[in-house]
Every structure is written in structure tokens, then in C-alpha cells.
Amino acid sequence: MVRSSSSDDELRAAVAARRELGPEYEDSLVEGFLEKMDQEIDRRVDDRIAARSRKDTPAVRPSVDAGQRLALSIVSLVFGVPATAGIAASTDGGIVLILILWLGIVGVNATFALGRRR
């Protein structure tokens, strides 16, 4: 275990204070020293937890927005492809309807994407 110079200094200061003040102050000096050591231990544990959590976190975290964008994209394709096939098979002037259909799908997706950024 690596010893901290601050804990060594604290112990030396507590022993020196005990020598100067006498045994009647020993209990309060020990309590003060132990409180400082508790704080040092807590700080070290917090540092280790923070280091471990930084190491364990993935580089890229998928967000709820990413899932919603994916879902909207899938729904757009599931709706758009069969609708395109149906329009193309049923009408002679279907290119205009197909263009309107896909402009609407792109518009919905763009509105969703731009609205989420605000």
C-alpha cells in the first residue's frame, strides 16, 4: 500500500500535539486524526470509483433520440416502399404521386430531426 505524505504529516502532528498538550487531550486528538483519515479514505475511494466508471463507460452511448430516429427511418421505409410499388403498378401518371409521397416522407423525417435539435 502506498503511504501518503499527508497522512504521515497528520500522524506526526497529532503525536507532537499530544506531547505538548498532555494525555488529557489524547482522546480529542485521536478523534481528530481518525476523522481526517476517514476523509482521506473517502477521497481515495471516490477517486477509484470515478476512474473505474470512466474506464467502464462505452465510447459511444446510444441515446433515446438515436432509437427514435432509427424507428422513424424503419417506419418510413416500411410505408414508402410498398406505397411506391402500389402507386407504380396502379396508375400511368404515378411518377408525380411517387414524388409527392417521398417528399412527404423526407419532410416528416427532416422535421423530426430538426425538431429534436432544439
Give the separation between CA 39 and CA 62, rounded to whole angstroms.
37
- Same domain assignment for residues 47 and 80: no
Q: Are residues 72 and 108 in the same domain?
A: yes
> Which pLDDT does position 76 carry in this prediction?
92
* Whether residue 107 is found in the same domain as residue 74: yes
Say yes or no: 71 and 112 in one domain: yes
Boundary-marking domain end, from 34, 56, 78 = 56
- Domain residues for the domain of 94 are 64-117
Residue 1 scores a pLDDT above 60: no
77 shares a domain with 37: no
Residues 37, 73, single domain; the answer is no
Do 68 and 105 belong together in one domain? yes
Helix axes 5-21, 26-56, angle to 10 degrees: 170
pLDDT in tens, 77-87: 999 999 999 88
pLDDT digits (tens, 9 = 90+) for 41-55: 999 999 998 888 877
Res 90 pLDDT > 70: yes
Residues 29, 18 contacting (CB under 8 angstroms): yes
Output the pTM of the full model: 0.45
Query: 48 and 19 in one domain?
Result: yes
Residues 84, 41 share a domain: no
How many separate helices (H) and strands (E) can be counted in the chain? 4, 0
- Number of domain units in the chain: 2
45 and 70 in a single domain? The answer is no
